[in-house]
Amino acid sequence: MNDPRPYIERARNELTEYLVYQKLASREKNFENRTLLEKLSAQERAHYEFWKSLAAEAGARDQDITPRPLGRYGTPLLRAFFGVTFTTKFLETHERGSIATYEAMLAGIPEHHRARLREIIEDEKGHEQSFIGGLREKRVAYVGFIALGLADAIVEITGVHAGFLGVTGSTLIAGVSGVIVGFAAAISMGSASYLQAKQDVGKSPIVSGFATGISYLASVILLALPYFLIRTMITAFATSTSIGLLLLAAFTFYGSVLFDRAFAREFAESAALMLGTAVATFLLGTIVGGAFHLNPQSF
């Protein structure tokens, strides 16, 4: 292969990851995590040197290989918001594609480099199991409590709002009702998480309770907001439901990366539960409204 561009592309990827892991390691306070990140950084640097040498043999210059600015400077921002475990696993999600690319390139590179490329392929396959799987982070232990608060709030409050479609045409009443129900439910869910965490070794009951309650209450506020800004009931409901779906999608993606789950399946199940609850409560609201002769247009 005389064209240096494929080698340059691979070298850029590995150089970027080497610098990213190096920066993540320098900011990591946990000694074990820092050691694992330093090992990842060293491994990526070795991979970079390999592709750099192939690019040089094909006629590339050192200045042709530069790190990707977005990956280099954007990744620490990801780490600040989502944690080192998520960030590292997110970086490695593209490695599956890289492995397939490397295997396809194997036959086209000079024969004396093939053994080394096979070693690199094995390195890439072993990243998550040997290094990333060893990362330990406190926030990961409480993800389940946040997910509980978020998912339960989205399903329950969307159901409350849907039920009011058949009872009232006032977005203000629907919004206030959602906030009141949600506030009480946030306290209830937080208390339940507190009691549950008292049975779990290594988890703070107070942190667990707050994680569930705050995530629940934050979801309630976001879902209720359209009802205070929009005066048309169906438009407010559609906007609120869209916000709920976006929240579900965002957190499902976070969990799918963190725990190696299938995003599409997890999101489909959550969305179906949310929308199914909305349909059921809408029907109930319509039946109740009809039974008590409530006219949504005048109430």
pLDDT in tens, the chain (299 residues): 567 888 999 999 999 989 999 999 998 888 889 998 999 899 999 999 999 999 998 888 877 889 888 777 788 788 888 888 888 888 877 666 678 888 888 888 888 888 999 988 888 777 656 677 777 777 787 888 888 889 899 999 999 999 988 788 899 999 999 999 999 999 999 999 998 888 876 788 999 999 999 999 999 999 999 999 999 999 999 999 999 999 999 999 998 888 888 899 999 999 999 999 999 999 998 888 788 777 666 56
Question: What pLDDT score does 197 carry?
Answer: 87
Domain 5-134 belongs to what architecture?
Up-down Bundle (1.20)
Q: Where are the domains positioned within the chain?
A: 5-134, 142-291
The first and second tokens of residue 126, run together, are: 């072993």
Distance in angstroms (rounded) separating the CA atoms of residues 262 and 124: 21
Question: What pLDDT score does 99 carry?
Answer: 80
The first and second tokens of residue 20, run together, are: 């990213």
pTM of structure: 0.82
- CB 117, CB 183: distance < 8 Å: no
